[in-house]
Structure 1
């Protein structure tokens, strides 16, 4: 006769990247954690007035929480806020960008898969987004570093078609091949090549070797920012084999004349829904 395995209970810190309502008072929470990867669980009675956990387990908060493992959704309790990122939650533009990076982090994470570098990158980027005057480059830094940490670092020195070192010039980028293509070596049948100017290539190489503080002070022109966005997003889409829902939200907010509106992020909303 086999005995039942006793549930495992542990405490972890994590970033809330998704929430949804369950029943009349409960809430399903998705966290990214440094040791346990993605953790999905139920916070009982989290939506009831006076709940001791409901105010902590909200989108984009860095929290400490007790997790009781089950075969399905885990049980979450005893939560406390380590960083509420108020500066992100009170600014719609910053909130939309934070939603974008949190969805990317979730897509590149797995359950029970420790990834402390990704977790640290997520926290560092949220902290930078809260105060930066250059959010566009912070996003590009995150995209590049996430690709590197996941083993999909773009090839930026050699032509991925010929293997020859690239001369300083305007070239093309192939997400399918994962890197730059010499402008004179366009692959036969390749239609999804993206333009990569010399300045854009320099910025890509800079992002691949710098830290987040230096990225935050690097300025880029409108054309270079547009090319960076297209190249890095195309590479991420290729790796994930899909786009990200939060992209449309971020792009819509970015094109508005003012970013001073307060984000309407209720406790039952989700960064990825």
Structure 2
């Protein structure tokens, strides 16, 4: 290959065009930002947006949190550099209420922690885009957030067992039931041990979890769900996530506090079971 051809090949490899969601951002110096981008084509990438904090920057308005943007990246050894950005979808409704921002941050945090750098996860990318769009337009975050948590577990290969007891292998019947994180499923009345890790569930909670597993989350929007039922569903899904994602679900604390302050739900409705630990 000629020297000119080799140069063109090197340039092609070192430039990446991708559609991206902005998961995180951190100020760098006086005008730059370090971004965590979740791209459809290349997976999670970290990049510097130079001068983006200057009002006259051509990148300004295209790389805010949670925005969906087409980017051109120059690959670097440690951090890529954003050379071009064109907004695709802003999800402007997310910025209308603090609780929407909080829950969007929670979903972005889950996506960030569930993925490795440069490991494309197109199904998860599409799920996050769809979830941002729903959070921006729907009034109740509960079914949207719970659907994301369940689909994330499925995509990671940790689908909870909701039909057969993982201890005895018998089909679950109505009665006293509990989710056991270490087993990854719901145990029957005969296999309950009353251990501290068991999360007691009503029959209604198990049915709701099955709807989420079947991606029939819209049916939960049309049902009156008591705070107790919502709490059981949420506690189960977050226990399942904790079993596979390291560290506390810190963004859930923020989202829950914001949700309570906005008056969405009663006595814990739509809130995180972690909220009490955050003060």
**Runs ≥4 in structure 1, deviation > 4 angstroms?**
3-7, 211-216
Deviation at residue 48 of structure 1 after TM alignment: 1.6
Q: Which residue pairs with 2:158 in the alignment?
A: 152
Q: 2:144 aligns with which of 138, 146, 159?
A: 138
User: Pairwise mapping of residues 10-159 of structure 1 onto structure 2 (< 5 A)?
Assistant: 10-159=16-165
Question: Is this contact kept in 1: 2:208–2:220, CA < 8 A?
Answer: no
CA 159–97 in structure 1, closer or farther in 2 if over 3 Å, else same? same
Given that 2:21 and 2:68 are in contact with CA atoms closer than 8 Å, whether structure 1 keeps it comes out as yes
Please identify, of 250-259 and 157-166, the stretch whose mean Cα deviation from structure 2 is larger: 250-259
Q: Could you say which residue in structure 1 is the equivalent of 2:234?
A: 229
Instruction: Tell me the TM-score normalized by structure 1.
Output: 0.88
Q: Match of 2:258?
A: 253
Unaligned runs of 5+ in 1: 260-273
Matches within 5 A, 1:181-192: 181-187=187-193, 190-192=195-197
2:243 to 232, 238, 241: 238
Kindly tell me: are residues 134 and 68 of structure 1, through their superposed partners in 2, closer, same or farther at Cα, counting changes over 3 Å? same
For 2:205, the equivalent position in structure 1 comes to 200
Give the distance between the partners of 1:88 and 1:187, measured in 2 at CA: 43
**TM-score, normalized by length of structure 2?**
0.86
Q: How many pairs does the alignment contain?
A: 256
Structure 1 position 258, deviation (Å): 4.2
Q: Are residues 214 and 197 of structure 1, via their aligned partners in 2, closer, same or farther at CA, if it must alter by over 3 Å?
A: closer
- The separation in 1 between residues aligned to 2:226 and 2:176, in whole angstroms, is 16
Bigger mean CA deviation after superposition, 225-234 or 89-98: 89-98
1-structure distance, mates of 2:211, 2:175: 16
Distance 1:231 1:146 in 2: 14
Matched with 1:271 is none
Paired with 1:216 and 1:53, the residues of 2 have a C-alpha distance of: 38
Match of 1:264 in 2: none
Answer yes or no: is 1:220 the counterpart of 2:197.
Answer: no
CA gap 1:34/1:216 in 2 versus in 1, 3 angstroms: farther
Q: What are structure 2's unaligned runs of at least 5 residues? A: 1-5, 265-279
Q: Is the 8 A contact 1:145 1:208 kept in 2?
A: yes
Please identify, of 116-125 and 75-84, the stretch whose mean Cα deviation from structure 2 is larger: 75-84
More helix, by proportion: 2
Residue 80 of structure 1: how far off its partner (Å)? 1.3
How far residue 112 of structure 1 moved from its aligned partner, in angstroms, is 1.5
What SS class does the counterpart of residue 161 from structure 1 fall into? coil
Aligned-residue CA RMSD in angstroms?
1.9
